[in-house]
Amino acid sequence: MIYTCYEMARDCRADKPEGWSYFISQYVPAIRKLLQHYRVAGLSVETVLKALRKPESSLFQSLESAPERWFVAEMRKLVLLQIDPPKPDIPLDLEIVAAALEPLTVVEKQVAWIETMNYTAAETGVMMRMAASTVEKIRSRSAELIRGKSDAWRATILAENGFALGREASASGTKDCLPVRDFLDVLDGRTTWPKRDQMTNHVTACWHCIDHFCRMVEVLELLRGLKPLTEAEAEPYRQLLGVAKVKQRTSWTRLLGKA
């Protein structure tokens, strides 16, 4: 019997050790990777787990289709919300970014936006399936466009404002914004050309959806190559959360977002 992400969420809501043991084993590695990437000082895996275990945490309340990738995207958002980022020397708001980057294509805007997520050109190239040199050219053009709209500027302004811009974009959604399934269909190559054109018309002017797409791209990269914790590695986290050790009777299989 396969133990799914749906069942994990259900069991975590019910505070069953099966759910929490699965969560610790499968997703602590992703939390570690997030904290390492965003170079978070003063925020530990232990602190994150305690926050996610609180009754008011929304992480396990619902799952859309494509459960694992949606779940990890929600987990990423909740982890980053716990970070109190330093204030940038040169603030940059989303309105300026949107006006400056208006001439870019949707893909170019996505590439530019991933810079706010602290990824190098080489890492972005892998995520977006393009050459690092192409990423660099897009970033250079984006930088000049932003420079032309800003009273003050430096080359690292997007990355330095990444947390604030991400939160602003995430909060800017409307009823017309696209569901996660549409983004995953694009990433999985299942979107028809008419549907893709329809999506492009909306996403071109919607930084909420650009941010959403980039977060899903990041989730795919986050999950790539992750290995579950061993029993010995997971035990301290189970003890931290007061989770009883369970006899593993089901096949703990991550479904990689398949419903």
34-66 pLDDT, tens per residue?
Answer: 999 988 778 899 999 999 998 888 898 876 655
Domain extent at residue 211: 94-223
In a domain, 257, yes or no: no
Lowest mean per-residue pLDDT among 3-7, 20-24, 94-98, 234-238: 3-7
- Any idea what DSSP says for residue 178? P
One domain for residues 45 and 117: no
| Cα–Cα dist 211/203, whole Å | 10
In a domain, 147, yes or no: yes
Count of structural domains within the chain: 2
In a domain, 248, yes or no: yes
One domain for residues 21 and 115: no
One domain for residues 219 and 233: no
| Cα–Cα dist 191/204, whole Å | 17
CB 112 within 8 A of CB 101: yes
One domain for residues 45 and 149: no
CB 120 within 8 A of CB 193: no
In a domain, 259, yes or no: no
One domain for residues 231 and 242: yes
Q: DSSP secondary structure string, 62-102?
A: ---SSHHHHHHHHHHHHHHHT--PPPPSS---HHHHHHHTT
Lowest mean per-residue pLDDT among 21-25, 128-132, 188-192: 188-192
One domain for residues 38 and 51: yes
In a domain, 166, yes or no: yes
Is the pTM value of this prediction over 0.85?
yes
**Nearest alpha-carbon partner for 64 in 175, 174, 180:** 180
One domain for residues 111 and 171: yes
Give the pair of three-digit tokens for residue 56: 């008011």
Percent of the chain with pLDDT over 90: 64
One domain for residues 207 and 109: yes
One domain for residues 52 and 80: yes
In a domain, 12, yes or no: yes
User: Could you tell me whether strands 251-252 and 2-3 are parallel, antiparallel, or unpaired per DSSP bridges?
Assistant: parallel
In a domain, 98, yes or no: yes
One domain for residues 215 and 132: yes
One domain for residues 179 and 230: no
One domain for residues 104 and 192: yes
Q: How many CA atoms lie within 13 A of 60 on its CB side?
A: 24
